Chain A
Amino acid sequence: MIPDVPPLKIREAGLCLTASAHMVVHYLHGSFRFPSPPPSFDYLCEILPSSDILLGTPPNKIRDYLKRIEEIGGNLKVRHLKGQDISTLEFRVRQRTPPIALFDLMYYHTRSPLSRSSHATVIVGYTDEVLYANNPVYGADYPYEKKRFKEAWERRGMKYILITPKESLVRYLGII
């Protein structure tokens, strides 16, 4: 379990990826000493194009958005990865780098094949049966049953995003 990923519950849907990125950035700020304070969620939303509320955030643009906040973006590395299994996410949790997983939320809950959208959530822990996520809709430590989550995650290509400090910053701060 990564206990210190600050949860964030949003009121407006469509911003789940932005909210997830916000949670991870704040977690990193709590763990590493960045030169500037972390951005507020409102500020992060402000730098997104207004159409994002309608179409959702394009995941590949997260790095660009973070880069717009110069001091923070410059120190962060954003990777877009594909998992093999739930163990990939568990591995990242053990590394204390909370992954942002993209999955079919509607399918997870209702098994409905109608859904086309992806939902972003920050995985913060796991047990043998469940994954715990700071979900932008439901709040902290929401338990996802692993088998069902895997199916819903598979429907979106088992993609996940890692936001980590750049290695140069990590070396500079002497953390590793």
Chain B
Amino acid sequence: MPINREWVLNKTNEIIYNRYGTNVGPGEPRLTSDDKEKHYWLVPLEVDYPRIIEDRMTGTRRYIVFHLGKLSEVKFDADRGKPLELPDRTHLSFVVKRELLKIRERVEKLMVRTASYNLAKLVSLKHMMSPLSNLITSALRREAYVLPDVGSMRRQHIQKYVDLLVDRNFLVSEKDVVEPSPILWELFQARNDYSAVIEYVLKDLIEKAYEILYDKYNIRILHPYVEISSSYYDYALSAQELVALSTEDLWEAYSGLYMAFSERRRFRFDDYLRELSQQDVNILEETEKGAWKGNKTIFEKMQENFPIQGQTGIITV
């Protein structure tokens, strides 16, 4: 074979140097052939995605590298060394984005599952979901609650909450009447506390129906809280520690991960942080130096279910 492994490795390094970027490197070349017995070298393009995290309490800087592995490859003619297939830079960049999105989604799902009870205690959420709590309270108090007329504005407003509660087996509906389901009765009888039942229902919806809340019922109130919390825990999990992030660092993490660069979101950001750090909610905690740290219990539970160690390298200075 005229073209050897060293040659294709050097050539791929050259291509990366000229075309892709410092986060890309070649993997182990593989020799292959087609049914016409023509030989090819396939060289994987592997990507490391770096992240810098600075702990504002200790001043420690961590350089974290996500080894994303093979995301594309270069194909060479093994006789003449001519590159036959080269992914374009935009495509490779798109694939990296897609991989990072997968990590973000994994963290988000885990965060929602782990901190659902904390999220259920958000005052804004309870306020925005008041039709839901009204329905639960009325159904429990009256044992059967007659819904407003189908054509009325009030009915239109509460119908999606009725559907949601029926969907999640908290209410039973027959024509225009809703009744508490056996599960809801059981919950109520155990505590005899309406607020506790409402929090439990919210917890269940967040934990098990977070995605359909938005997709099916168009309930968006939770999104910024979940995204901001998830951004913090994404960073903490990659640093493998409850790092203290400044408001600015956290904003950059959030706006970077969720492409959330908007004046409106920035304006409301401080208030979201305040709500997430309220005593009952306790998803974030403000430190003496005005930085933000996560909740140890949430973090440790997430860490158990997010074995990231093998995929990252960390340098601490």
Chain A interfacial positions (CB closer than 8 Å to B) = 10-14, 16-17, 49, 51-52, 54-61, 80, 102, 105-106, 109-110, 112, 114-120, 137-138, 142, 157, 159
Contacts and interface: CB of A to CB of B under 8 A. Distances in A.
Most B Cβ at <10 Å: residue of A106, A109, A157: A106
B90 A51 contact: yes
Nearest to B62: A137
B194 interface: no
A132 B76 CA distance: 40
Contact of B65 (A10, A52, A60, A117): A117
A52 B52 CA distance: 16
Given A106-B65, A137-B63, A58 B19 contact: yes
Contacts of A49: 89
Contacts of B46: 116
Given A56-B21, A137-B317, A138-B61, A13 B51 contact: yes
A117 B63 contact: no
Contacts of A16: 22
10 contacts: A13-B63, A14-B23, A54-B96, A56-B23, A58-B17, A59-B22, A60-B17, A115-B48, A117-B25, A137-B61
Given A106-B313, A116-B25, A55 B20 contact: yes
B18 A118 contact: no
Nearest to B316: A109
B1 interface: no
Interface string B62-91: 011101000000000000000000000110
A115 B96 CA distance: 16
B13 to A, nearest CB: 6
A57 B16 CA distance: 10
Given A60-B18, A112-B313, A116-B27, A54 B49 contact: yes
B65 A59 contact: no
A164 B13 CA distance: 25
A10 B90 contact: no
A82 B97 CA distance: 32
Interface residues of B, number: 38
A159 B67 contact: no
Interface of B: 13, 16-27, 46-52, 54, 61, 63-65, 67, 89-90, 92-93, 96-97, 100, 249, 252, 313, 315, 317
A12 B52 contact: yes
Contacts of B19: 58, 60
A56 B48 CA distance: 10
B25 to A, nearest CB: 3
Q: Counting chain B CB atoms within 10 Å of each CB, which of A17, A112, A119, A120 scores highest?
A: A119
B313 A51 contact: no
A109 B62 CA distance: 12
B21 A109 contact: no
B17 A11 contact: no
A118 B50 contact: no
Nearest to A12: B52
Given A55-B89, A55-B92, A102 B22 contact: yes
B52 A110 contact: no
A13 B90 contact: no
A133 to B, nearest CB: 12
A115 B64 CA distance: 11
Nearest to B310: A114
* Residue from B50, B97, B249 with most neighbouring chain A CB atoms (10 Å): B50
A10 to B, nearest CB: 7
Given A54-B97, A59-B17, A137-B63, A116 B90 contact: no
Nearest to B44: A116
Given A51-B90, A137-B317, A118 B22 contact: yes
A55 B47 contact: yes
B63 A105 contact: yes
A17 B67 CA distance: 19
Contacts of A17: 22
Contacts of A120: 22
Given A11-B249, A55-B96, 12 more contacts: A11-B252, A14-B49, A52-B21, A54-B100, A56-B23, A60-B18, A110-B313, A110-B315, A117-B24, A137-B61, A137-B63, A159-B17
Contacts of B54: 11
Contacts of A60: 17-19
